[in-house]
Amino acid sequence: MMNIQNILQKEKLNKEDLIYMLSCRGEEEKILYNFSKGVREEEIGQSVYLRGLIEFSNICKKDCLYCGIRKSNSDVKRFNIEDKHILNAAKFAYDNKYGSIVLQGGERDDNEFIERIDNLLKKIKKLSNNKLGITLSVGEQSKETYKRWYDSGAHRYLLRIESSDRDLYYKIHPNDENHSFENRLRCLKDLQDIGYQTGTGVMIGLPHQTIENLANDLLFFKEFNIDMVGMGPYIEHKDTPLYSERNLLMPQIDRFNLTLHMIACLRILMKDINIAAATALQAIDPIGREKAINIGANVIMPNITPTDERALYQLYQNKPCTDEGADECYSCIEQRIKMAHCEVKYEEWGDSPHYYRRRKG
């Protein structure tokens, strides 16, 4: 008979095992969480790494059906933070001993944009004496662009696959060449080939998504040999096409719990990767990210975007920390991580051990 103890003793987890782990509740859920916590302690210790998140622009050429800043949403005031403010935020991260930052924004691939990112990378490297690690998350680009940015100082890249199931992918994206599933896979492959630490992830609790889809997502991360994962609950936004399917959604709290299950399963499946506690967890539960840290995540991304623009970067509704300055967020994070019995590691890039093992072959 299948039970959680038997599954957790297995050397290799298959799809059925993962479906069972994702669905277990009550006592079995506690056993699962204790186990994933143990794996985390054994493999990567109590350390939690900070990535200062700068959401620098909500101008986007894409029309993802779930996202509040999609191109066709005319109710959004568009912003593009000036370079000097981005550099100030990076300096703040450096001065406060954050090991690294994430530059995230809407997707653009025009020359002006490519050039701008390139310049910012070089300037951030300079202002931090080459010390600050830089992760980029600005969507799909050509291999040439990825390489150029890598050479200018970016060493990690986040590009969620959103769903590894092609059919589901096209239920949440327009089916056109600007939103091609194959191109997204191509991008992930190029990023790995160039040498980036490559991060991906999915949204959890999407309309039409099944537990089997989620189990397959986990196997996809493993198969793709991914170095880091950020996954969070899908949160509906009223000005998006996917909002019309909200009657298909499970309650937010169930999406939250399912995300914790996904994190626990992933920690057991891929013991040495970096797993981020997504901000969207906090939109549902004020200590959602700490709960994720407690059961296996090891990266947290405090928002250090200048406060004026924060409220305009509404990928989903009820986005947390949109009215606090970076300092306030900073002190609350340290306390919260202690609550999860973990310890913030300052001044370290916090690369995943998996990345080094993968590169060594």
13 close to 32: Cβ distance less than 8 angstroms: no
Task: Determine, following the binding rule CB under 6 A, whether residue 302 of this chain makes contact with ligand SF4.
Answer: no
Is the dihedral angle over the CA atoms 283, 285, 286, 290 positive or is it negative? Answer: negative
List the interface residues with ligand SAH, window 312-341 (CB under 6 A).
315-316
Q: Which of residues 66-105 bind ligand SF4 (CB under 6 A)?
A: 67, 69-70
Q: Please identify, among the stretches 13-21, 65-73, 220-228, 261-269, the one whose residues bind ligand SF4 according to the rule CB under 6 A.
A: 65-73
From 57, 100, 135, 137, residue interacting with ligand SAH (rule: CB under 6 A):
137
The answer to whether 288 contacts ligand SAH (rule: CB under 6 A) is: no
**Residue type for position 353:** P
Using CB under 6 A as the binding rule, whether residue 206 contacts ligand SF4 is answered as no
Q: Is 76 in the site for ligand SAH (CB under 6 A)?
A: no
Q: Does 162 bind ligand SAH (CB under 6 A)?
A: yes
Contact between 263 and ligand SAH by CB under 6 A: the answer reads no
Q: Which is nearer to ligand SF4, 160 or 261 (CB)?
A: 160
Nearer to ligand SAH, 68 or 344 (CB): 68
On the 0-12 / 13-18 / 19+ scale of CB atoms within 10 A, 218 is buried
Q: Which of 40, 156, 184, 237 binds ligand SAH (CB under 6 A)?
A: 237
The CB-of-106 to ligand SF4 minimum distance in angstroms stands at 4
Measure the CA dihedral 142/301/216/154, to 10°: 20
Q: Which residue has the tokens 């967890």?
A: 281
Report the candidate in 19, 21, 16 with the shortest Cα–Cα distance to residue 5.
21
Output the six-digit token pair for 68.
């509040």
- Structural contact between residues 29 and 5, judged by C-beta atoms closer than 8 angstroms: no
C-alpha distances in angstroms, 27 versus 4, 34, 249, 311?
10, 11, 26, 40
The strand ranges marked E within 145-252 are 156-158, 197-200, 203-204, 228-233
Please classify residue 147 by burial: count the beta carbons closer than 10 Å to its beta carbon, then call 0-12 exposed, 13-18 middle and 19+ buried.
Answer: middle
**# binding residues, ligand SAH (CB under 6 A):** 19
- Is 221 an interacting residue with respect to ligand SAH (CB under 6 A)? no
Structure tokens at 128: 């931090």
**Residue 258 binding partner per list ligand SF4, ligand SAH, none, with a CB distance cut-off of 5 to 8 Å that depends on partner kind:** none
Is 309 a binding residue for ligand SF4 by CB under 6 A? The answer is no
Q: Which is nearer to ligand SF4, 58 or 100 (CB)?
A: 58
- 240 vs 298, which CB is nearer to ligand SF4? 240
Q: Which residues bind ligand SF4 (CB under 6 A)?
A: 60, 62, 64, 67, 69-70, 106-107, 139
